[in-house]
């Protein structure tokens, strides 16, 4: 009998163990391409630090993009896939017929045919990155046959062109799917009316960005706060390093291949959601002749463009299809109807420029080079707060900005038949609302008006067309100006303290209004209970600051939510008041008796749910992460952590949107502070960061909730940016496919 070396026997055992998985891989991918991916993977090194953050090294940028997508899939493949299912308009194949109009909306503005065409005309450097995106994701699936995608078994290089700015949905999320459904199903219902999201209870989303100039810095180095407010676990923390000059650290939206909000060794950028008017609605006058539609433009009638699309949707175990005839004018797709007129939507529709700008800015070296990249005009939904190591701080309000005739009200749909409503090209970057190195020494934007961004050094509203910055002030903006104005010299520690300032500016008007209502109602003997009197005394002496031990915050928050629900139904038709105007409606459009009745109901609710209305905020407001699923579940009987900060609706700079869930009495967070970082741009980068929970989505990972305690306390970890620090704090070093 022939004897085989032990090494040969071991190899055979490994081979037999690998074959079933290899057969699964072979069904998805060609062995030759898997071999090619494996070869590229050998050029990539991933170092996971002690927080699980991946530092991805490669010879080329494409190598790093390959490694980035691989690590994202390792950390949360479900979210990577979900973002692309959404972006490419195939959600109904997973969620069923109810998502058809979500998919139709996506197809109206960008479909795979357009994305493929843009991929084909992409410059060579971009094609390499797009190919690396697909290869890295597919290599993960090839080496993890146990992963079962919900829909996408293969990723294509054109997909990122449909998801190019970093915020999934982008501007199309502002287009009402209900109104669109009303038009394309021809069902006259409330969906034919303007979809007014303000009349729903919802947590405000957005972000905060602060920049501190050397004149206000203790070290004379510029500082930057990066503080996006998103749904939890929406972005991951990563570090991308290539031999071709890429060295960027920050937050990446799952499935994207660029640092969306972050910094490199020379500069940093923070994006906040913008109300800068970068899209318009047109009312089209329509006639039907011989079965065809025409729209009026000037003195002529033009044929409406039509296209038949067949959208798949899941029903039980089957995939069915529904056909739609979609309509377009030269302004854009038809997305609704107002009276007898059709409503079209025009917006930026250039995925290649948007994606190019998103990537190239991560390699900017200073203010001048960052501004040069902005000339691509590919950012339609964000403002930018900026700082660099030369000491510059800057702000731009929006970027993609159509030039328009200012005699029209662009906050409303305009007459599509009037040629004067055409866009007249784009405003150059120098035209848009901005500031560079303001005398105040600081910049803030909290999704608020740019005309208070730097205190007395802010731009003048009168210098700009109204459509450039219709954004209103909000309570975070008010608090940010107050906080940044009061300190002469900032450090990373005091910048963190500013980002966590506990003052809740919205209650400056609401609590006095409640106290005044109490004085009116209590003038009648026996009209109020002793509990209401005690609660009013508690609120009257409250400093308007959040804290885990604050009973006043609990009572104020529950009462504020209840009285807002009552007032929301009294908003005049057609109005969408901003936060400050809504507070005025709450104060003025509810009676004293209603205010006190709402407080009495709150005390009853708290006593019922927690045994005593004198319940501290930290006992109510909790952080919990149990499953890591996109739709998380919550359980009062399982461990959770108290959280002091609260909804940004009240002015909380550190935002935490929480609510009760089926079966819970406590409130659990799901939106708000996500990736948060502070950066100092000195001779060497100094930075700290924290994410919601942890880097990994699997409950069995040590990095599932290892940052939760820091996050809930408003504390940060040290960022490992330089090779020596990364190596010293390395937990694991490997190559894709060999972990």
Cα(104)–Cα(91) distance, integer angstroms: 10
Region label for 258, one of left (φ > 0), alpha (ψ between -120 and 50) or beta (otherwise): beta
Closest listed residue to residue 397, CA positions, set 442, 348, 462, 459: 459
Cα(426)–Cα(677) distance, integer angstroms: 33
Asked if residue 664 belongs to a domain, the reply is yes
Asked if residue 320 belongs to a domain, the reply is yes
Is residue 714 a contact partner of residue 256, using CB atoms and an 8 Å limit?
no
**Domain boundary residue, one of 653, 672, 691:** 672
Provide the CATH number for the domain around residue 588. Answer: 1.10.1400
> Which pLDDT score is estimated for 202?
61
pLDDT digits over 310-353, tens only? Answer: 999 999 999 999 999 999 999 999 999 999 999 999 999 889 99
pTM value?
0.93
Bridging pattern class, strands 621-623 and 667-673 = parallel
> Which pLDDT score is estimated for 336?
95
Looking at residue 216, what DSSP letter applies? Answer: G
Percent of the chain with pLDDT over 90: 89
> Which pLDDT score is estimated for 221?
98
Rounded to the nearest 10°, the torsion over CA 718, 723, 728, 734 is 110
Tally the C-alpha atoms within 13 A of residue 355's C-alpha that lie toward its C-beta: 27
pLDDT digits over 727-739, tens only? Answer: 999 999 999 999 7
> Which pLDDT score is estimated for 163?
85
356 catalytically annotated: no
Asked if residue 582 belongs to a domain, the reply is yes
Question: How many structural domains is the chain composed of?
Answer: 2
Asked if residue 423 belongs to a domain, the reply is no
pLDDT digits over 546-594, tens only? Answer: 999 999 999 999 999 999 999 999 998 878 899 999 999 999 999 999 9
> Which pLDDT score is estimated for 203?
64
Q: What average pLDDT does the structure give for the chain?
A: 93
Cα(663)–Cα(83) distance, integer angstroms: 29
Q: Residue 545 pLDDT > 50, yes or no?
A: yes
Tell me which of 164, 167, 176, 207 is the catalytic residue. Answer: 207
Is residue 446 a contact partner of residue 206, using CB atoms and an 8 Å limit?
yes
Is residue 473 a contact partner of residue 479, using CB atoms and an 8 Å limit?
no
- Residue 15: pLDDT band (50, 70, 90) is very low
The 10 Å Cβ neighbour count of residue 707 is 23
Cβ neighbours of residue 132 closer than 8 Å, sequence gap 6 or more? 40, 62, 63, 65, 66, 69, 257
Q: Residue 24 pLDDT > 60, yes or no?
A: no
DSSP conformation letters of 334-377: EEEEETTEEEEEE----HHHHHHHHHHGGG--SHHHHHHHHTT-
- Is 277 known as a binding-site position? yes
Residue with the larger pLDDT of the pair 364 and 199 = 364
Asked if residue 226 belongs to a domain, the reply is no
> Which pLDDT score is estimated for 13?
40
> Which pLDDT score is estimated for 200?
53
> Which pLDDT score is estimated for 299?
97
Q: Residue 64 pLDDT > 60, yes or no?
A: yes
Asked if residue 625 belongs to a domain, the reply is yes
Is residue 136 a contact partner of residue 65, using CB atoms and an 8 Å limit?
yes
**Domain boundary residue, one of 331, 347, 363:** 347
Provide the CATH number for the domain around residue 342. Answer: 2.30.120.10
> Which pLDDT score is estimated for 174?
84
Residue 290 domain boundaries = 279-347
pLDDT digits over 72-124, tens only? Answer: 999 999 999 999 999 999 999 999 999 999 999 999 988 899 999 999 999 99
pLDDT digits over 272-319, tens only? Answer: 999 999 999 999 999 999 999 999 999 999 999 999 999 999 999 999
Closest listed residue to residue 360, CA positions, set 171, 129, 549: 129
Q: Residue 6 pLDDT > 70, yes or no?
A: no
pLDDT digits over 476-524, tens only? Answer: 999 999 999 999 999 999 999 999 999 999 999 999 999 999 999 999 9
pLDDT digits over 655-695, tens only? Answer: 999 999 999 999 999 999 999 999 999 999 999 999 999 99
Residue with the larger pLDDT of the pair 12 and 436 = 436
Q: How far is CA 371 from CA 223, 375, 385, 434, in A?
A: 19, 7, 12, 11
First to last CA, the chain: 38
> Which pLDDT score is estimated for 19?
37
Lowest mean pLDDT: which of 185-189, 285-289, 611-615, 653-657? 185-189
Q: Would you say the C-alpha torsion 81, 82, 85, 88 has a positive or negative sign?
A: negative
How much is the average pLDDT of 136-155? 97
Tally the C-alpha atoms within 13 A of residue 238's C-alpha that lie toward its C-beta: 32
Is residue 391 a contact partner of residue 222, using CB atoms and an 8 Å limit?
yes
Is residue 255 a contact partner of residue 71, using CB atoms and an 8 Å limit?
no
Asked if residue 466 belongs to a domain, the reply is no
How much is the average pLDDT of 356-382? 96
Closest listed residue to residue 620, CA positions, set 559, 668, 560: 668
- Residue 170: pLDDT band (50, 70, 90) is low
> Which pLDDT score is estimated for 194?
44
Cα(400)–Cα(346) distance, integer angstroms: 13
**Domain boundary residue, one of 347, 365, 388:** 347
Asked if residue 665 belongs to a domain, the reply is yes
> Which pLDDT score is estimated for 165?
80
> Which pLDDT score is estimated for 187?
65
Q: Is 155 helix (H, G, I), strand (E, B) or coil?
A: coil
Cα(328)–Cα(310) distance, integer angstroms: 17
């Amino acid at each position: 009998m022939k004897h085989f070396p032990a090494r040969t026997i071991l190899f055979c055992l490994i081979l037999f163990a690998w074959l079933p998985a290899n057969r699964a891989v072979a069904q998805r991918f060609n062995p030759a391409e898997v071999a090619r991916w494996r070869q590229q993977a050998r050029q990539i090194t991933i170092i996971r630090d002690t927080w699980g953050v991946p530092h991805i090294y490669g010879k080329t940028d494409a190598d790093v993009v390959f490694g980035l997508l691989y690590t994202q899939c390792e950390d949360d493949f479900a979210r990577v896939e979900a973002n692309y299912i959404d972006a490419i308009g195939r959600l109904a194949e997973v969620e069923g017929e109810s998502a058809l109009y979500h998919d139709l909306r996506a197809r109206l503005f960008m479909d795979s045919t357009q994305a493929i065409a843009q991929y084909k005309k992409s410059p060579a450097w971009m094609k390499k990155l797009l190919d690396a995106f697909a290869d890295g994701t597919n290599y993960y699936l090839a080496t993890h046959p146990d992963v079962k995608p919900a829909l996408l078994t293969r990723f294509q290089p054109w997909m990122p062109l449909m998801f190019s700015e970093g915020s999934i949905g982008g501007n199309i999320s502002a287009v009402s799917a209900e109104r669109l459904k009303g038009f394309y199903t021809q069902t006259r219902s409330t969906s034919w009316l303007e979809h007014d999201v303000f009349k729903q209870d919802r947590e405000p989303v957005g972000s905060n960005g602060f920049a501190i100039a050397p004149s206000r810095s203790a070290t004379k180095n510029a500082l930057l706060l990066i503080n996006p407010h998103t749904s939890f676990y929406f972005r991951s923390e990563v570090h991308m390093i290539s031999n071709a000059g890429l060295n960027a650290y920050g937050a990446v939206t799952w499935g994207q291949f660029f640092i969306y909000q972050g910094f490199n060794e020379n500069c940093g950028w923070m994006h906040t959601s913008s109300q800068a008017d970068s899209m318009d609605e047109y009312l089209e006058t329509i006639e039907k002749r011989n079965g065809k539609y025409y729209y009026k433009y000037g003195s002529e009638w033009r044929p409406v463009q039509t296209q038949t699309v067949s959208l798949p949707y899941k029903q039980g175990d089957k995939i069915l299809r529904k056909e739609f005839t979609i309509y377009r004018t030269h302004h854009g797709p038809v997305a609704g109807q107002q009276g007898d007129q059709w409503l079209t939507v025009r917006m930026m529709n250039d995925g290649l420029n948007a994606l190019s700008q998103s990537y190239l800015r991560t390699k900017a070296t200073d203010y001048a080079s960052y501004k040069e990249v902005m000339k691509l005009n590919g950012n339609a939904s964000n403002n930018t707060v900026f700082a660099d190591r030369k000491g510059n701080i800057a702000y731009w309000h929006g970027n993609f900005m159509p030039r328009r005739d200012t005699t029209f009200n662009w906050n409303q749909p305009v007459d599509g038949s009037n040629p004067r409503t055409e866009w007249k090209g784009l405003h150059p970057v120098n035209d848009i609302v901005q500031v560079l190195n303001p005398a105040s020494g600081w910049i803030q934007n909290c999704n608020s008006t740019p005309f208070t961004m730097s205190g007395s050094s802010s731009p003048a509203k009168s210098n700009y067309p109204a459509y450039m910055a219709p954004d209103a002030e909000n309570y975070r903006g008010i608090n940010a100006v107050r906080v940044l104005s009061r300190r002469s010299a900032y450090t990373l520690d005091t910048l963190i303290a500013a980002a966590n300032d506990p003052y809740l500016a919205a209650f400056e008007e609401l609590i006095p209004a409640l106290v005044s209502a109490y004085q009116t109602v209590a003038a009648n003997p026996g009209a109020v209970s002793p509990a209401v009197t005690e609660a009013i005394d508690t609120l009257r002496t409250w400093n308007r600051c959040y804290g885990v031990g604050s009973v006043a915050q609990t009572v104020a928050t529950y009462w504020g939510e209840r009285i807002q629900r009552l007032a929301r139904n009294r908003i005049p038709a057609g109005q969408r008041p901003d936060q400050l105007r809504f507070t005025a409606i709450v104060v003025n459009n509810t009676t004293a008796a209603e205010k006190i009745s709402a407080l009495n109901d709150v005390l009853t609710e708290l006593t019922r749910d927690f045994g005593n209305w004198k319940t501290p905020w930290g006992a109510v407001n909790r952080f919990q992460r149990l499953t890591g699923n996109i739709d998380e579940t919550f359980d009062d009987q399982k461990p959770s952590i108290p959280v002091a900060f609260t909804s940004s609706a009240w002015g909380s700079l550190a935002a935490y949107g929480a609510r009760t869930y089926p079966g819970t009495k406590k409130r659990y967070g799901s939106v708000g502070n996500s990736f948060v970082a502070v950066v100092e741009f000195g001779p060497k980068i100094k930075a700290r960061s924290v994410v919601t929970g942890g880097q990994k989505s699997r409950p069995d990972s040590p990095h599932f909730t290892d940052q939760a305690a820091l996050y809930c306390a408003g504390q940060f970890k040290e960022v490992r940016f330089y090779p020596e620090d990364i190596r010293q704090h390395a937990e694991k070093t490997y190559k894709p496919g060999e972990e």
